[in-house]
């Protein structure tokens, strides 16, 4: 069955992969997109999103501008050394003629949850500011959505911003704390699994050879992304953070190990700020069921995700209708 999906993103390179994946997947129907500051500002992310949708022939999907600043701080300026100054690896996308929705991202999420009660799947692949604001707008929101999948955190793996903090959580720990404490179950897709799910140069070459403009543009973007990750992996390749979260959210791939544990976020000003504190002490007993636990932490997959990702991206139409 096709699931209605609200995507909340900070459209950099891996967000672009996730968006394209959801557009191509027969399991997903993207009904709205909100942007937030993270890899780039919310405004730049919105422009990237509109341009990608147009390139994919999906300019009818509404895009709402979300929070520029995190709840308790100011936007840090993005990560141009990872995603390029424009967020998409310095690739120039054809500009879309579409306009942003009149509502905020938080308002869009609340509205869509009411339109698709019990069906809407929330996929959050940036900082969680918009989700926190939506919870404030409608405290009943958790009872209306079908699922919440968050790309973020690090359970047993090291962080990528600090020794313990992953970027999406670290950029707005206060918002992340509210999202994990809300009355809903959250699937967390942390660095534990995304850093061990790797897209190789051979996969990029397949995308570059596509006749469709979106896979080809993604292949070009990945050249920039690979150069950053070469300093981490020692070869041109990259982690697949956001598209993996999207695939897990719609059930296209399944985890091999995903215990349900208690989870919280450190909002202190000390060295632990932004840490996703997952109670992994059940490791030694095979992760028994824990009463009151709400955080499903994906730790490993049963198979390589890269072939499925590439195959799905190649399904995008080679002749989109540009506006």
Query: Taking the domains of the chain in order of start, what are their residue ranges?
Result: 3-322
Q: Does residue 320 have a pLDDT over 90? A: no
Rounded-to-integer distance, Cα 37 and Cα 67, Å: 7
Residues acting as catalytic residues: 10, 241
Q: What percent of the chain has pLDDT over 70?
A: 98
**CB neighbours of 216 closer than 8 A, spacing ≥ 6?**
207, 208, 210
pLDDT in tens, 252-305: 999 999 999 999 999 999 999 999 999 999 999 999 999 999 999 999 999 999
Q: Which of 50, 55, 30, 40 is nearest to 10 (CA)?
A: 40
The number of C-alpha atoms within 13 Å of 139 and in the hemisphere containing its C-beta is: 0
Q: Does residue 318 have a pLDDT over 80? A: no
Architecture of the domain defined by 3-322: Alpha-Beta Complex (3.90)
User: Mean pLDDT, to the nearest integer, of 5-23?
Assistant: 98
Which is it for strands 300-301 and 255-257: parallel, antiparallel or unpaired?
Answer: antiparallel
- Cβ of 137: how many Cβ atoms within 10 Å? 14
Q: Does residue 67 have a pLDDT over 80? A: yes
Which pTM was predicted?
0.97
User: Mean pLDDT, to the nearest integer, of 93-119?
Assistant: 98
116 neighbors 250 (Cβ within 8 angstroms): no
- Burial category of 73 from C-beta neighbours within 10 Å (exposed 0-12, middle 13-18, buried 19 and up): exposed
Beta strands in the chain (DSSP E): 3-9, 28-35, 63-65, 121-124, 147-151, 186-189, 198-200, 237-239, 255-257, 260-261, 263-265, 276-278, 295-297, 300-301
For all residues of the chain together, what is the average pLDDT?
97
- Burial category of 209 from C-beta neighbours within 10 Å (exposed 0-12, middle 13-18, buried 19 and up): exposed
249 neighbors 5 (Cβ within 8 angstroms): yes
User: Mean pLDDT, to the nearest integer, of 37-53?
Assistant: 98
- The tokens of 159 are what? 């962080």
Q: How many helices (H) and strands (E) does the chain have?
A: 12, 14
- In degrees and rounded to multiples of 5, residue 151 shows phi and psi of -85, 110
Largest CA distance in the chain: 56
The answer for 249, left when phi > 0, alpha when psi is -120 to 50, beta otherwise, is alpha
User: Mean pLDDT, to the nearest integer, of 198-219?
Assistant: 98
């Amino acid at each position: 069955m096709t699931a209605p999906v609200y995507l909340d993103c900070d459209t950099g390179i891996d967000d672009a992969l996730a968006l394209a994946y959801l557009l191509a997947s027969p399991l997903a129907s993207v009904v709205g997109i909100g942007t937030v500051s993270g890899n780039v500002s919310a405004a730049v992310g919105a422009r990237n999103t509109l341009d990608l949708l147009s390139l994919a022939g999906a300019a009818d999907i509404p895009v709402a501008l979300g929070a520029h600043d995190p709840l308790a701080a100011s936007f840090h300026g993005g990560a141009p050394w990872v995603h390029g100054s424009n967020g998409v690896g310095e690739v120039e996308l054809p500009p879309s003629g579409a306009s942003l929705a009149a509502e905020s991202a938080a308002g869009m999420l609340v509205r869509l949850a009411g339109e698709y009660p019990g069906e809407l799947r929330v996929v959050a692949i940036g900082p969680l500011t918009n989700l926190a604001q939506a919870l404030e707008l409608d405290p009943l929101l958790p009872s209306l959505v079908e699922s919440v999948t968050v790309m973020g955190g690090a359970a047993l793996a090291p962080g990528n911003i600090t020794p313990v903090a992953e970027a999406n959580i670290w950029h707005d720990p206060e918002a992340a704390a509210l999202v994990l404490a809300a009355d809903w179950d959250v699937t967390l897709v942390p660095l534990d699994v995304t850093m061990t799910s790797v897209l190789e140069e051979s996969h990029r070459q397949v995308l570059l050879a596509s006749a469709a403009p979106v896979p080809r543009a993604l292949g070009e973007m990945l050249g920039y992304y690979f150069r950053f990750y070469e300093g981490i992996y020692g070869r041109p390749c990259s982690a697949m953070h956001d598209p993996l979260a999207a695939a897990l959210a719609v059930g296209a791939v399944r985890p091999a190990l995903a215990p349900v544990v208690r989870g919280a976020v450190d909002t202190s000003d000390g060295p632990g700020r932004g840490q996703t504190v997952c109670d992994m002490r059940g490791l030694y007993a095979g992760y028994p069921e824990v009463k009151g636990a709400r955080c499903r932490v994906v730790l490993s997959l049963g198979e390589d995700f890269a072939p499925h990702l590439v195959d799905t991206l190649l399904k995008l139409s080679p002749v989109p209708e540009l506006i």
